[in-house]
Each structure stands twice: as structure tokens, then as C-alpha cells.
Amino acid sequence: MILTAAAMASCGNDNCMGNSSGIPLAAFMEGNNKVTLSDLTVYGIGAPNDSAIIRNTSASQVYMPFSITETTCSYVLDYNGTEINNDTITFNYEIIPYFESRECGAMYNFKINSWEYTQNAIDSVSIPDPLITNSDVVKINIYMQ
């Protein structure tokens, strides 16, 4: 009876349904639809070893992890194989220590206060919900020209 009770008491959400930390997910948009950019490279300015998030890859969305030691983070979008110059998006944000759950653990959330971008291939950037959590949903819309 006690074993049954122990099993019942442990019934709950044993798996973390989101990411292990707050990571912004950005989608490339044309109007209301997602668009896939081919041969795209995305990297953070100042990332160790010049590492890229994606390199020469087709993508319709990309994660842009924020630094947890700085409150500003810039990403470069390199449209390889085209004559279009690179675009840069800069985010200014707050870092929020956050405990999500026993299953997901402790992490950082982010609140984006402002953002800037160049407009070589980008038309505009919109962030309807500036709070970045571990939920796996698009929070940044990058509208292409």
C-alpha cells in the first residue's frame, strides 16, 4: 500500500518539456509566413573561437543564445554566396536568475529591453513578447526584404 502511495505521490511531470535555459528563438519571415534562407551563417560577435550557431546552412529559424555575463549581445547574419552585405542584430537585455522546476532545474531568463539592426537584407525585427524563457517558441521575428 505504501509502495503504491509512493508511486502515486511521484506522479507528475517527470520530464522537462522546455529547454534547459532561456534561449531566444528567431524566425525569418516574409509577411506572415516563415521563409527559408539558404547558405546562411549566423554567429555571435565575440564568441570564443569564432564559433557559429549555423554555418552555410539553409534555415527558417535559429537559436541565438544570450551571454550570461554581458547584458548586450550581437549576432551577424552572413548571406553567403550573395552580394548582399551581412546584417547585424544587437540585443540589450536583463538577465533574470530563474528556477523553473525540479525537472528543468535552475536557469536564466532574459528580458529584452531594446534591439538594433542593420537593413541590408532585413526589413524589420519585431519582438512581441520580450521575456525569453525556456519554452521552445519563436520570440523574435526577423522580416526579410
Partner 1 sequence: MRKARLHRIVMCLMALQVAMPLLAQEQPRKVTPVKPSTNKVLTPPKGTDEKIIQQYLTGDTVQARAQERKDSLAKIYPHYPKLTELSLGLNFGDALMMAFGQKYASYDFSATLNMWNRFQPVLIVGLGRAKETPEDMNFTYTGKLSPYFKLGANYNFLYKNDPQYQLYAGVRLGYSTFKYDITDITVSNPYWGEIGIYELNGVSSNALWGEFLAGLKVGIFSNFALGWEVKFHGLFKEKKNDSGKPWYIPGYGARTGKWAFGISLYYTIPLNRSRWPVKEDKQKGKREVNGSRPITPPVKD
By CB under 8 A, residue 45 contacts partner 1: no
State which residue, 30 or 136, has the beta carbon closest to partner 1: 136
C-alpha angle 89/22/65, rounded to 5°? Answer: 35
Provide, rounded to whole angstroms, the least separation between the CB of residue 60 and partner 1. Answer: 20
Q: State the burial class of residue 21 (Cβ atoms within 10 Å of its Cβ: 0-12, 13-18, 19+).
A: buried
Instruction: Give the span between the Cα atoms of 33 and 31, in whole angstroms.
Output: 6
Question: Is residue 38 near partner 1 by the rule CB under 8 A?
Answer: no
- Per CB under 8 A, which region of 25-33, 83-91, 95-103, 117-125 contacts partner 1? 95-103
Under rule CB under 8 A, residue 68 binds partner 1 = yes
Select the residue interacting with partner 1 from 34, 56, 81, 106 (CB under 8 A): 106
Contact 54, 40 (CB under 8 A): yes
The answer to whether the beta carbons of residues 107 and 133 sit under 8 Å apart is no
Q: Applying CB under 8 A, which of residues 19, 60, 67, 90 lies at the interface with partner 1?
A: 67
* CB-based contacts of 87, cutoff 8 Å, min separation 6: 76, 77, 79, 117, 118, 119, 120, 121, 122
Q: Does 8 bind partner 1 (CB under 8 A)?
A: yes
Instruction: Kindly state whether residue 134 participates in binding partner 1, applying the rule CB under 8 A.
Output: no
Tell me which residues touch partner 1 (CB under 8 A): 1-3, 5-6, 8-13, 21, 44, 47-48, 51, 53, 65, 67-69, 96-103, 105-108
